[in-house]
Amino acid sequence: MSYNQTGQGICEAALVSLASIAMQNAPELNVQTIGALRVLNSPEMNVGIDVIQGAQGDKGHVRDVRIKYLRRSLESETLDSPACDYNSDEGYLEDQATVDLYKSINFTIDLNYIRQLCEDASTAMNEFRATGIMPPPTPVMSYVAKKIATQFNGLLAAINRDALTFIQASYGINAVTGTSAQRSATMLYSATGQPNALGIQRILQDYTAYNQQNYKPIALGTGILDRFAKASQYFCCSTGGVDFGALAASNPLMYFPEDPSQVADVLGNVNAFALLAPGSMVMFDAMRNKGNFAGQHGLTYYTTFKPDTMPNMEFDISVLSDFCGDATREVKISISKSYGFWGIPTDAYQSGDPLNGVTGAFDYIATEA
């Protein structure tokens, strides 16, 4: 493999290089917390919504997805005696999921690194094919891998902000109050830092008894909620006899930590958190560099890959070989994502239903006593 084999050879070498390093705690590889993205791409959230996620296919096309749903009947629609009255057939209601968001990050790598990278990667792959063991990365392989890895922090953080913004916009009615107003949950005692059982009791009762949601709830946040999640692992018993160690082991609340600065910016308070029902929302994408569009086109090579930091997410990557004599000798790399979000609509339960306006996304704030 030589450096002048157009974009394909360069791209393959770069991806081999990226796979040769592991994410570390070094500043250039330390990725910002991306809780919203981890929630929306987790198996815990993606309960029964794989049809929406797979609707774009693998042909490189982008299409809107229509979602049909039926609403449950009401207690008031039942009859107390035999009669010839029948409820009308409401039929399906429809909503639409659209790939309407895009983020990319573009950067260059000097040709001198690429020239050596392709030779090093080719040697490494030959050794791997012969022995089944990938040799340690060379200094140039490590540099290119780190160069690509550093770009992901900004890209993932930007997409995560979109995801967190969507989650906040999806807050529906909390059936306990009949409004979408933020509800407080007392999670800690301020004097001791000890977990307070009242908060988790309120959250679980709100979620199961009043809002009638299924599966374990997902909590996305930071601040006091994060302290509660950590403290629950180490405290044994409160003065009220609650075994928080057993509570943590039973995992009644699936906690995903989020970046404090984004929580403060988007949710308005570092102690605010989202309580989410699994299956209540979905992130989906359109991979543009697939099907007939994948491969070499002119001087640019198009493909996709999944980073170690987010193995459940796939990204488009394009590599342009820009060799303009001695004036410009570099490779231009673009990593991008086309995506959208969809959540349960506010009319999923009809007027008169106790859950009218409930979307499975609830607005909470953690407090101290």
Q: Which of 51-60, 115-124, 328-337 has the highest mean pLDDT?
A: 328-337
User: Quick check: is 337 in a domain?
Assistant: yes
User: Quick check: is 79 in a domain?
Assistant: no
User: Quick check: is 61 in a domain?
Assistant: yes
Shared domain check, 12 and 133: yes
SS3 letters across 242-282: CEHHHHHHHCCCEEEECCHHHHHHHHCCCCEEEEECCCCEE
Shared domain check, 44 and 144: yes
Mean pLDDT confidence for 83-103: 84
pLDDT computed for residue 5 by the predictor: 44
pLDDT computed for residue 2 by the predictor: 36
pLDDT computed for residue 266 by the predictor: 97
pLDDT of 352 higher than 80: yes
Strand partners, 210: none
**In the chain, what percentage of residues exceed pLDDT 70?**
80
User: Quick check: is 104 in a domain?
Assistant: no
Shared domain check, 244 and 208: yes
| 245-269: pLDDT as tens digits | 666 666 678 999 999 999 999 999 9
Q: Which range is least confidently modeled, 3-7, 30-34, 152-156, 255-259?
A: 3-7
pLDDT computed for residue 3 by the predictor: 36
pLDDT of 53 higher than 70: no
Shared domain check, 317 and 208: no
Shared domain check, 329 and 253: no
User: Quick check: is 88 in a domain?
Assistant: no
User: Quick check: is 82 in a domain?
Assistant: no
Burial of 166 (0-12, 13-18, 19+ CB in 10 A): buried
Average per-residue pLDDT for the chain: 83
SS3 156: helix
User: Quick check: is 118 in a domain?
Assistant: yes
Shared domain check, 155 and 295: yes
Shared domain check, 227 and 271: yes
Task: State pTM to two decimals.
Answer: 0.84
Shared domain check, 229 and 185: yes
Shared domain check, 294 and 147: yes
Residues of the domain holding 61: 6-21+33-73+109-168+282-341
Backbone angles phi, psi at 259, to 5 degrees: -65, 125
Shared domain check, 210 and 136: no
Number of structural domains (the chain) is 2
Q: Which range is least confidently modeled, 23-27, 72-76, 158-162?
A: 23-27
Shared domain check, 332 and 253: no
Listed in sequence order, the residues at least 6 apart from 101 whose beta carbon sits closer than 8 Å to its beta carbon are 162, 338, 339, 340, 341
User: Quick check: is 87 in a domain?
Assistant: no
Shared domain check, 302 and 164: yes
pLDDT of 363 higher than 90: yes
